[in-house]
């Protein structure tokens, strides 16, 4: 006999994420990190919130194992201390704000499936709305800090001197690369409003002398020539197949002989249904970008080869990263 628990759980899964977003946005985890333990009334007073609402939210977070309850007091669970306290080494509090910001778009999924057009334009977080742009770029920065450590293990850039980071957003990947390979001169190419945020982040991390920015639209402009390495990290999923192929051809033209192209992104298997996260992320991108989707690893290999690259390889990054890494060389 079939069990309905999985379907019921799916139908109410948004309860979990809404409780997480609210506790993070209201400063619950940050305040508990400061005071250690507190009851609902004192937390509500500290954060200028309603006591009943606070108690209900705290109890929900205990049920989600984000908090621990001892008598009438609450404290952060170990995972929350590690990942949800602003300023902690593994801080994801800014990264999850992107998920919070796209939450309203998911409520319009039926509309998208009916008419096939995105329900939110990417311009809102890529320059049109300056606050959303900063939030988006900062979210990508914190995500990239975690993903970047795994990507660095896959990179072999010994002897390389110049690198172009296409659609590099906050410049985080280039900063991490420049710290490991101090002889590489990195250039982050992205839209003007994105680059403004990136420049501040790069300067704060002490890498302005090795990581520069280039404002422009990577779709319409030619890439600076003579590069040893061109990276496409976390940006192909918003491009159409035709755009990805055009970008790979431009990369081939801009690279020196023997130059390296690297791609890191969400990918699926050939059925476009596995892994689950990638299949769902494809919907997320379609809701918020004109051509967003998630391509298969086999498709990327074909496009690289068609652009002229050789020694093409692709592999998944180690868990829990839901990303793949691909690399190839110019003849």
Q: Strands (DSSP E) along the chain, which ranges? A: 38-39, 67-70, 73-76, 162-166, 185-190, 211-215, 227-233, 255-265, 310-316, 324-329
Q: What is the pLDDT of residues 109-136, one digit of tens each?
A: 999 999 999 998 765 556 566 777 888 8
> Domain 5-84: which CATH class?
mainly alpha
Domain boundaries, the chain: 5-84, 103-329
Cα–Cα distance measured from residue 287 to residue 260, given in angstroms and rounded to the nearest whole number: 33
What is the 8-class DSSP label of residue 234? S
CATH topology of domain 103-329: Rossmann fold (3.40.50)
Which residues, in sequence order, are bridge partners of residue 185?
A: 162
Q: What is the pLDDT of residues 189-220, one digit of tens each?
A: 999 999 999 999 999 999 999 999 999 999 99
Q: What is the pLDDT of residues 236-253, one digit of tens each?
A: 999 999 999 999 999 999
* pLDDT beyond 90 at 321: no
Cα–Cα distance measured from residue 127 to residue 119, given in angstroms and rounded to the nearest whole number: 17
Peptide bond into 114 cis (omega under 30): no
């Amino acid at each position: 006999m079939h069990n309905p628990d999985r379907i019921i759980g799916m139908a109410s899964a948004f309860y979990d994420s809404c409780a997480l977003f609210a506790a993070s946005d209201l400063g619950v985890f940050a305040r508990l990190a400061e005071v250690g333990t507190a009851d609902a009334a004192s937390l509500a007073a500290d954060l200028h919130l309603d006591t009943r609402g606070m108690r209900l939210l705290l109890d929900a977070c205990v049920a989600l194992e984000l908090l621990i309850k001892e008598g009438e007091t609450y404290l952060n669970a170990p995972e929350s201390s590690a990942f949800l306290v602003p300023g902690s080494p593994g801080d994801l509090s800014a990264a999850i704000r992107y998920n919070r910001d796209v939450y309203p778009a998911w409520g319009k999924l039926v509309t998208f499936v009916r008419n096939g057009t995105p329900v939110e334009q990417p311009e809102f977080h890529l320059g049109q709305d300056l606050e959303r742009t900063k939030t988006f770029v900062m979210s990508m920065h914190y995500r990239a800090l975690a993903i970047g450590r795994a990507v660095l293990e896959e990179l072999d850039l010994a002897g390389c001197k110049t690198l172009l980071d296409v659609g590099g957003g906050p410049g985080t990947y280039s900063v991490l690369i420049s710290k490991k390979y101090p002889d590489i001169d990195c250039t982050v190419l992205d839209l003007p409003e994105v680059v403004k945020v990136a420049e501040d982040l790069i300067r704060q991390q002490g890498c302005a002398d090795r990581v520069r920015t280039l404002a422009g639209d990577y779709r319409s402009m030619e890439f600076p020539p003579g590069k040893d390495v061109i990276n496409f990290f976390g940006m192909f999923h918003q491009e159409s197949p035709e755009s990805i192929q055009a970008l790979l051809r431009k990369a081939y033209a801009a690279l020196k002989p023997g130059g390296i192209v690297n791609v890191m992104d969400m990918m699926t298997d050939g059925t476009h249904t596995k892994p689950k996260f990638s299949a769902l992320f494809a919907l997320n991108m379609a809701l918020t970008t004109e051509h967003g989707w998630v391509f298969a690893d086999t498709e990327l290999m074909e496009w690289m080869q068609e652009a002229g690259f050789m020694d093409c390889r692709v592999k998944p990054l180690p868990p829990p990263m839901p990303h793949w890494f691909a690399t190839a060389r110019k003849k």
